[in-house]
Amino acid sequence: MKDNSNTGKQEGTRTTSDRFSTGLGVLMATLGSAVGLGNIWKFPYLTGSNGGAAFLVIYIICTILVGYPIMIAEHSLGRKGRGDAVSTFKKLAPKSVWWIVGAMGILAAFLIMAYYTEVAGWVFAYVFKSFGSGLLSTDPAVTTSVFTSLVTNPVQSLVWQWVVLIVVSAIILMGVTKGIEGTTKKLLPILAILLVIIGIRSITLPNAAQGLSFLFKPDFSKITAATVLTALGLAFFKLSIGMGAMLTYGSYYGDSQNIPANAARVVAADLTVSILAGIAIFPAVFSFGFEPAAGTQLLFITIPSVFASMPFGKFFMILFFLLTSFAAIGAMISLVEVVVAFLVNYAGMDRKKATLLTAAGMAVFGSLAALSNSSLSAVTIFGKTFFDFYDFTTSNIFLPVGGLLLAVFTAWIWGWNKFHATTSNEGTITNVSFTRIIFSILKYVTPILVAIILLAGLNIVHL
Ligand code: PHE
């Protein structure tokens, strides 16, 4: 705690102890934010409901072409600003209204946490359910009913969400470096190995080929403008960009870290984990007769069937949900950190109070999502339950708009000279031709492309 409580109100006053101690620590913490329920839960459910391989192709293009440059931009702005999402803009562009982008990010963090904590709650609950025998079945009716009985129970839904919030707040109170670096460093590689093991089982199931062709044989006729926006939103969500999380993490980066190289590793690892999760799930979906477009429940109803059909299934299932909850915690820490860093750094609040206040606010927003399958299932905004509304608006509106504005700010306001100085560590890394390409993408491609996808995807303009 002492690491961060002395940052005070001024910007740029972080001590070196606030920064990640090692290069590996930086990579792992950033990965800890990126890899989470987005890979294990959201990627499969969206790929399943949007037709499979064609969606995957668009998602990969969005990740590399749009996501990667924005991640570099956020890390650079963050390291230069050495503050939270709002103070960084106030520092880099004083007397302008660009800080609103940071404020939008803080709101987005709240809205994402409101439903993310619910899904994390399901994962926590499944760790316990995995110890029993009710879940280990290859029958869709059985696994679906286990899931339904959990989410339609308002008390269980709320309690699990609170457990999640308490665990995350407790870790945050232990301080950035210890809390984030320590856990993710050890656990992410194990999660990746486990996904490979599950994937091997899944692709050796009867009819697995059907699942693999669903995932890897694109049929672009299924793609609409709304699908492209969903793929773009997923790319932003997956990389934790467009809302200040990577900007806040950038502020903890040491001066000698190579930002473009680090971001490339994060993007590659994040994509790999998503695809591994897809390989683990889709063959089983087709093998056991699940519905690929089952929606948010896809992971929870399908994955137990893979475990039910492998040796030591119960052991692997416990391990899987346990590791997934750790991955979710890493992502949630970065979301809470966006708000806490703002309250500590900008509003001068004590770190402990800021964390507790943030968690309490998230519990309030979150309860509406937690009750979306039970008491509040009939309450809708624009035809969506609170859960779906939070999910849709954050990924399909907040993050793309935030990313677009971040790109415009970096390329048109901050400018090449500062971007180049930061991405080359004041000229000590020779990467000028590469960063020039990244800068041009941020300047021209990102704003135009994201604007078109947003307008068409939201049906504002018909292409
Ligand atoms: N990237 C995280 C995941 O995939 C979610 C996240 C989004 C985290 C935005 C921080 C900011 O689970």
Residue 24 pLDDT: 73
* DSSP class per residue in 37-70: HIIIIIHHHHHHHTTSHHHHHHHHHIIIIIIHHH
Distance separating alpha carbons of residues 434 and 14, to the nearest angstrom: 30
Give the closest residue to 188 by CA, choosing from 17, 357, 36.
36
Q: pLDDT tens-digit profile of 354-394?
A: 999 999 999 999 999 999 999 999 999 999 999 999 999 99
Tell me, using a 6 A CB cutoff, whether residue 331 lines ligand 1.
yes
Q: Average pLDDT for residues 169-179, to the nearest whole number?
A: 71
Q: pLDDT tens-digit profile of 398-421?
A: 999 999 999 999 999 999 999 999
Give the global pTM.
Answer: 0.94
Distance separating alpha carbons of residues 164 and 16, to the nearest angstrom: 30
Residue 159 pLDDT: 98
Tell me, using a 6 A CB cutoff, whether residue 117 lines ligand 1.
no
Minimum-distance ligand 1 atom for the alpha carbon of 39: 4
Tell whether the model's pLDDT for residue 173 goes beyond 90.
Answer: no
Encode 101-135: b = buried (16+ Cβ within 10 Å), e = exposed.
Answer: bbebbbebbbbbbbbbbbbbbbbbbbbebbeeeeb
Residue nearest to atom 11 of ligand 1 (CA): 240
- Which residues have CB under 8 Å from 364's CB, separation 6+? none
> From the DSSP assignment, how many helices (H) and strands (E) are in the chain?
24, 0
Residue nearest to atom 4 of ligand 1 (CA): 38
Q: pLDDT tens-digit profile of 436-453?
A: 999 999 999 999 999 999
Minimum-distance ligand 1 atom for the alpha carbon of 237: 7
Evaluate whether 275 touches 107 at the Cβ level (below 8 Å).
no
Residue 294 pLDDT: 96
> Helix or strand or coil: residue 289?
coil
Q: pLDDT tens-digit profile of 91-101?
A: 999 999 999 99
Residue nearest to atom 6 of ligand 1 (CA): 240
Q: pLDDT tens-digit profile of 304-313?
A: 999 999 999 9
Tell me, using a 6 A CB cutoff, whether residue 67 lines ligand 1.
no
Tell me, using a 6 A CB cutoff, whether residue 240 lines ligand 1.
yes
Residue 7 pLDDT: 38
Going from the Cα of 34 to the center of ligand 1, the distance in angstroms, rounded, reads 5
Tell whether the model's pLDDT for residue 9 goes beyond 60.
Answer: no
Residue 13 pLDDT: 43
- Which amino acid is located at 118 in the chain? E
Tell me, using a 6 A CB cutoff, whether residue 245 lines ligand 1.
yes
Residue 174 pLDDT: 76
Tell me, using a 6 A CB cutoff, whether residue 75 lines ligand 1.
no
Give the closest residue to 458 by CA, choosing from 280, 228, 146, 168.
228
Residue nearest to atom 9 of ligand 1 (CA): 240
Residue nearest to atom 7 of ligand 1 (CA): 240
Q: pLDDT tens-digit profile of 323-353?
A: 999 999 989 999 998 999 899 988 899 989 9
Q: Average pLDDT for residues 30-59, to the nearest whole number?
A: 96
Q: Average pLDDT for residues 318-326, to the nearest whole number?
A: 94
Q: pLDDT tens-digit profile of 255-289?
A: 999 999 999 999 999 999 999 999 999 999 999 99
Tell me, using a 6 A CB cutoff, whether residue 317 lines ligand 1.
no
Tell me, using a 6 A CB cutoff, whether residue 47 lines ligand 1.
no
Going from the Cα of 138 to the center of ligand 1, the distance in angstroms, rounded, reads 30
Tell me, using a 6 A CB cutoff, whether residue 112 lines ligand 1.
yes
